Structure 1
Amino acid sequence: MKKFVFGALCALLVLSGCGSEEKDENTLVVGATTAPHAQILKFVQDDLEAEGIQLEIKEFTDYTKINAALDEGSLDANYFQHEVYLNGYNEDAGSDLVSVGAIHYEPLGIYAMDPAGKTSISLDDVNEGDVIAVPNDATNEARALLLLEKYGIIKLKEGVGVKATKLDIVENPKNVDIQEIEASQLPRQLESVTFAVINGNYALDADIIDKVIVTEDKEDEAAITYANIVAVRKEDKDNENVKKLVEILKSEKTQQYINDTFNGTVVPSK
């Protein structure tokens, strides 16, 4: 009878995972999208290893699954999002993931291509009735409109900030036609519009970074608000391995790598 009870208990332990080998406490599993996040994480792997930390990077093609993976415990941290997106996830999922550091931002830029495939020189080329494509999601559309306002193409209602929509345009002196298009599709539309406001990561993927005219500045409200962060579960915010990861990601060496590698489409946060 004792043998039967002991055997049943062992079976239950195996089924529950209690008998499986635990993850090394010096291994840090971080989820990220491929570009630029996983690329930056690969750069810091050796520096983390020198600190006794093995960085395991899990790349995701579908960013909507990364917070859930962190929430359920298959990741120790993630690096792919800004805090506004994280707060939205927490609200929808009833979770309490937290930011432990802002690492970089991906500035929106105004891009253009003339019929010969050359970059427009300046925004002085904006003419009456020109078509300007902007991202159609609320977050990036507001950023795009703020950028257009900064360069005098439109004027927005006072105080709307990062919640701006097309309905908040109060002045449009050249009657530009602002068309809302899914953010990832904007690079493909560049030849069929006069200008497009495009996220840095999508411009990088599409190899059109040489077509940029102007970008958000690191001091702009949107750049600060939408800085990309490292996120963890609330109980891990003081984890020493996570602290070391953030420290190395924010180091001068990593910041220089970001500046040298991404040609302004990815910029270190302050």
Structure 2
Amino acid sequence: MTAPARAAATRRGTGRIPSTPARWVRGLCAFLLLLTPTACSSEAIGLSFSTPRVLKVGVTPRPDGEILAHVDKAVAPALGFELDPVRFTDAAAAKEALRDKLIDVAFVRNDPEAAALGQVMPGRGLAFVAPVFVEPLAVYSSTIARVSDLEEGGEVLIPSESAKAGRALRLLAAHGVVRLREGAGTQATVRDVTANPKHVRITEVPAEEMPRGYDDAVAAVVDVSTAQRTGLTAAGGKVLVLEPADGNAYVNGLFVRAGDEDDPQVSKLAELLRSPSVKAFIEDTYDHTIMPAS
């Protein structure tokens, strides 16, 4: 067809028009904008040009970041689920970024002060929505086989860090070594000990220094990952009792801003992090130094 013929055919309405949807929509929008500036919104013409939302997730490097990286690489792509991990040095920094709306969700440890999982934290504007794993404390010893075998006046090391010290004392109290003041809670200290039947000497030391004093002590209370990293287990330490994962207030999981608890993408992330695949990854990778939350 010659150029004049094509021009005539176009004037008669029989010529070809652009076939791609984007070019057609741009033409329609240009026409509608002559009528009213708002006529070309996606709602007005029934079309959406928005891209899927990428979920920004705040994490600390290990193990939260490693678990999220596994989900991001091995699980999420098959579902068309996009994650943007944002690393922070500690949980407090991630939570602050969440409050400031710099991220959408934080995958970090739950606050020990929270009375129950899922409770909105007064004055902080955050809510804990999904437990994922626990880094348990354990009582180690290379000289006794049971906690009940502790001898009169024996020395037990506990972490000097305030949060872990309270957990350690509660673990000892749960197995009858000491009794704590009623209401001492998660922030218990040695001053809250009201009974010590065997007059056990409780010594607070930094967790990283546990191996130095371990040879002179009967037992030590420390988290499993620190025990392995510092060589305490290599020094012959055996686990006598382990802090339970069920109902543990120190569980690591997902935080959102209060009001976002039902965000569908956060719910999907929670589902993935609590899936059998991720639970198997945790068990295989960390050799029981952390445990999936129930």
TM norm structure 2: 0.69
For 1:224 and 1:192, how far apart are their aligned partners in 2?
31
Deviation at 1:231, TM superposition (A): 0.5
1:11 corresponding residue in structure 2: none
2:279 to 251, 255, 268: 255
Deviation, 1:133, is: 1.7
**Conserved in 2, the CA contact under 8 Å of 1:81 and 1:228?**
yes
Map of 1:36 onto structure 2: 63
Which residue, 48, 62, 72 being the options, matches 2:76? Answer: 48
Describe the shift of the 1:64–1:205 C-alpha distance in structure 2 as closer, same or farther (beyond 3 A): farther
Partner of 1:112: 141
1:257 aligned counterpart, secondary structure: helix
Q: What pairs up with 1:56-205 in 2 under 5 angstroms?
A: 56-84=84-112, 94-113=123-142, 121-123=145-147, 126-157=150-181, 160-183=184-207, 185-186=209-210, 189-191=213-215, 193-205=217-229
What is the Cα-based RMSD across aligned positions, in Å?
3.1
- Matching residue's letter, 1:151: H
Q: Matches of 1:125 and 1:239 in 2, distance apart?
A: 51
Q: Is residue 226 of structure 1 aligned with residue 253 of structure 2? A: no
CA distance in 2 between counterparts of 1:111 and 1:75 reads: 39
Q: Deviations over 1:69-117 (max 9, x none)?
A: 2122222111111143578x955xx430111211111111112356xxx
Query: 1:36, 1:207 → 2: CA distance?
Result: 19
Which of 252, 263, 279 in structure 2 is aligned with 1:239? 263
2:112–2:186 Cα contact (<8 Å) kept: no
**Given that residues 209 and 265 in structure 1 are in contact (C-alpha distance below 8 angstroms), is that contact kept between their aligned partners in structure 2?**
no
Which structure 1 residue ranges, 5 or more long, are not aligned? 1-22, 115-119
Q: Does the 8 Å CA contact 1:31/1:60 hold for their aligned counterparts? A: yes
Q: Considering only CA atoms, is the larger Rg found in Structure 1 or Structure 2?
A: 2
Q: Which amino acid aligns with 2:159?
A: P
Residue 215 in structure 1 maps to residue 239 in structure 2: no
Q: In the TM superposition, what whole-angstrom CA distance separates every residue of 1:144-185 from its partner, at most 9, and x where no partner exists?
A: 112112333223345645454323323323211112234455
One-letter amino acid matched to 1:173? P
Q: Give the counterpart letter for 2:97 in structure 1.
A: A
- Residue 84 of structure 1 aligns to a residue in which SS? coil
Count residues with an aligned counterpart.
Answer: 238
> How many angstroms does 1:250 deviate by?
0.9
Question: Under a length normalisation based on structure 1, what TM-score does the superposition of the two structures give?
Answer: 0.74
Letter in 1 for 2:203: Q
Unpaired stretches in structure 2, ≥5 consecutive residues: 1-49
Greater helix share, 1 or 2? 1
- Relative contact order (C-alpha < 8 Å, sep 6+): which is higher? 1
